[in-house]
Amino acid sequence: MAGRILIVVHQETSTPGRVGLKLRQRGFELDIRRTCLGHALPETLDEHEGAIVFGGPMSANDGGELEFIKREIDWLDVPLREKAPFLGICLGAQLLAKSLGADVGLHPESRAEIGYYPIFPTDIGKAVCDWPSHVYQWHRESFEMPSGGQLMVAGDNHFRNQAFRYGKTAFGIQFHPEVTLAMTHRWTVHGAHRMGLPGVRPRSTHFSDRLVYDPAVDTWLEGFIDRWLGFDRRERRGRKAA
C-alpha cells in the first residue's frame, strides 16, 4: 500500500470519480471524509500522503451559514503549514484561494462555465506539466489570485483564473478532471436548471466534446497526479526523518 490520501467531498452521494480511481490504481487508500455530514478533519497530515478537496454546490462564501465550510477554510492551514501535497478542485480551489485571503464570487454578468472550454497554460504552468487544450467545467463562481499564488492556467476573459500554485505543494484547479461519463450524465440531469445560464454549453455538446477532448484530459491527469505526489512525497519523508 502506497499510503493514504485524504479525500474531502461535499455531498452524501459525491465520489472522487476518476481521480479516486487513478489513486487506487497507484496503491493508495482513500480516506473519504464528508464534512457536510459532520466528519472530522485530521489535526495533522502526518498519516496521509496528501489531501484533495473536491467541488460541491455550495459557495466558499457560505462559511457564515454552513459550519463545515468555515471549518474547511480554517483547516487548510494544516496542509499549508505542513507543506503536505494539497489539491483543490473547483470549490476546493476556491476554498484554498479564500483561505489565502483572495475573493471568491459570481461573474458580474451572471455567466457560468458548464461544459468543455479552452484553457491556456502560462509559462509557470508549462514548467509544471503539459496541459490539455480543453477541460470540463461546472461552476458559476471563480476565485481571484491570492497573494503569493502563481497562475498556471488561464481561461478566456470571462473566467481567467483556472489553475494556480501556492508554494511547491498546494494546487488549485477550477475545472473537473475527475468527471466520468456516468458523472456527466448525472450532473447534466440533476443540474438541468443551470443550462439556461449565459455562457453554458448545450447538454449534447458535453458528450460530443468529451469524445474529442477527454483522452487528453485523462493523459494529463495521469502525469499531474504523479508530479503532484512524487517529488513532494520524497521531500516530506526527508523532513519527517530529520
Rg (CA), the chain: 17
**Which of 107-121, 139-153, 219-233 is predicted least confidently?**
219-233
pLDDT at 223: 95
Arithmetic mean of pLDDT over the chain: 94
Q: Name the residue with higher pLDDT: 242 or 94.
A: 94
pLDDT at 2: 78
**Grid coordinates belonging to 217:** 484530459
Report the distance separating Cα 28 and Cα 39, nearest Å.
21
pLDDT at 157: 78
Structural domain boundaries, residue 176 = 3-241
- Cα three-residue angle 110-114-120, rounded to 5 degrees: 95
Q: CB-based burial of residue 50 (10 Å sphere; 0-12 exposed, 13-18 middle, 19+ buried)?
A: buried
CATH number of the CATH domain containing 142 = 3.40.50.880
Report the distance separating Cα 69 and Cα 55, nearest Å.
12
* Residue 194, pLDDT above cutoff 90: yes
Q: What is the pTM of this model?
A: 0.94
**Given pLDDT bands bounded at 50, 70 and 90, which one contains residue 166?**
very high
Under a CB-based contact definition with an 8 Å cutoff, are residues 138 and 55 in contact?
Answer: yes
Report the distance separating Cα 78 and Cα 45, nearest Å.
7
pLDDT single digits (tens) 76-105: 999 999 999 999 999 999 999 999 999 999
Total domains in the chain come to 1
Report the distance separating Cα 129 and Cα 234, nearest Å.
19
pLDDT at 11: 94
Report the distance separating Cα 242 and Cα 236, nearest Å.
10
pLDDT at 230: 79
- Taking phi over 0 as left and psi of -120 to 50 as alpha, with beta for the rest, 110 belongs to left
**Given pLDDT bands bounded at 50, 70 and 90, which one contains residue 184?**
very high
Over range 184-213, report the average pLDDT. 96
pLDDT at 235: 54
Residues whose CB is less than 8 angstroms from the CB of residue 39 and which lie 6 or more positions away in sequence, other chains included: 33
* Residue 240, pLDDT above cutoff 90: no
Question: H-type helices in 167-202, by residue range?
Answer: 181-190
* Residue 37, pLDDT above cutoff 90: yes
**Grid coordinates belonging to 60:** 466558499
Question: H-type helices in the chain, by residue range?
Answer: 17-25, 67-75, 77-82, 91-99, 123-128, 181-190, 203-241
In degrees to the nearest 10, what's the CA dihedral of 189, 22, 213, 206?
0
Over range 136-143, report the average pLDDT. 97
pLDDT at 156: 87
